[in-house]
Structure 1
């Protein structure tokens, strides 16, 4: 299954959610999207069900010298997930690990200021959370997000993604209350391979997706 772009994937995922979930299940729901790639996905779901959406901030902890390879991830609230396989591969020193974590913490603070503009994050306690991204590769950021959200006491965490690596999907299914995924496969090298257009979401697009009423 190939998606034209994130908007296309989001609309198809919204239709699947509509098939799987009863309308009553969404009465107390909030969409939380992982920036930046998850924002167009979340916006499509928000627009379909007319429910609130916001960003849930997670920072990938890249491997030394290979920033795009997730050695772990740090979420809002301090929850951290370690990708044990990648960690063993690089076996970084304690000093390097501390530096990477501190860098991730600083980036989370910066993103929080940038995306929220002083607004508080929506109250998630006793709410149904639809947690979305544009796909699951290693799953480190999604798993960190789940761990972070669990500390906040939601009623239910539903992970919704267009595509996922099969092994990663199995891990996430153990940690979330429910997972809705359009397509999973073992033949998975990157999320971008499943999109015709996988352009980076720009600052302007991010602003419009998060604050459409301010446009």
Structure 2
């Protein structure tokens, strides 16, 4: 299975995680490449998004060999067997731990820009990365998440080595992986675009996800080659999304539509407000009353939305928008 990019991978992965929506999970992305994938998963599930920052504790004279990991909130996982076998002194263990904890705190602060990390105690947590090669980071992250109080830990990745996936099942309650190719050498080979994710992108995605798990963003819906501007809001735990078909002389900026959308959002429903016509098309009044055109665009918007969320989609229409909504629903 080949993915176009991390966004494509995240949307496809979200489709395999729909059964977890009723658990009201927390989604954690591994910085940096796992965050764009996790963003799409969180959006589809209506779940809160955060990062899980972990640092491997490496043997001083052989750093690639990890003897444990540290996470935020003082979470600490150490293999006493490796410490004994490698002959690491207590002083060396403490020195490595101090250095890695300092770097962990620096990165976590940079990513969250002052926001508190999401509490995990008693929660179902989905740990997401863009792929797994050796499994060292994923294993450390899942163990740290468990140490932070998560009761059900799920590791979700688009692609991974089949051998590593088999081993990781011992560390988590569930592994969801879309592709485990037998001829696996690196994660990047299974992406058309595997360009590096920057720290700024991570910060921007976390900000877009918002606090409390509500995703709110400006989007573009394509219909018959025409790109239509819209506003998508997905509260945490979204059970369904309502697409608005505004009436003649109205738009997605209508105070009435936004007031109705706000009430629906408060009740836990997602909303998509989008312009059925471009500014140029609105100047021709014939377009405003072209129910066939409006219904076709509403149907296209519904199809576009179903590719992004794994919950039911419905329509709300007013005036000519009501006629378009009925026709699109029937289609």
Residue 197 of structure 2 corresponds to: 201
Deviating above 6 A after TM superposition, structure 1's stretches of 4 or more consecutive aligned residues are 62-67, 95-98
Residue 117 of structure 1 corresponds to: 113
**Matched ranges for 1:11-90 at <5 A:** 11-18=11-18, 21=19, 23-25=21-23, 28-60=24-56, 71=66, 74-76=69-71, 77-80=74-77
Residue 130 of structure 1 corresponds to: 126
Q: Check the 8 A contact 1:72/1:140 in 2, yes or no.
A: no
Unaligned runs of 5+ in 1: none
Residue 205 of structure 1: CA displacement? 1.1
Q: Check the 8 A contact 1:163/1:184 in 2, yes or no.
A: yes
Which segment drifts farther, 180-189 or 162-171?
A: 180-189
Q: Taking structure 1 as the reference length, what is the TM-score of the superposition?
A: 0.81
Residue 32 of structure 1: CA displacement? 0.8
- Flag the structure with larger Rg: 2
Q: Taking structure 2 as the reference length, what is the TM-score of the superposition?
A: 0.55
SS of equivalent residue, structure 2 residue 32: coil
Residue 160 of structure 1: CA displacement? 0.6
Matched, 1:183 2:179: yes
Q: Check the 8 A contact 1:70/1:138 in 2, yes or no.
A: no
| Number of corresponding residues | 205
Unaligned runs of 5+ in 2: 211-216, 218-331
Whose RCO is larger (CA < 8 A, sep 6+)?
A: 1
Residue 10 of structure 2 corresponds to: 10
Matched, 1:149 2:141: no
Residue 139 of structure 1: CA displacement? 0.8
Residue 194 of structure 1: CA displacement? 1.3
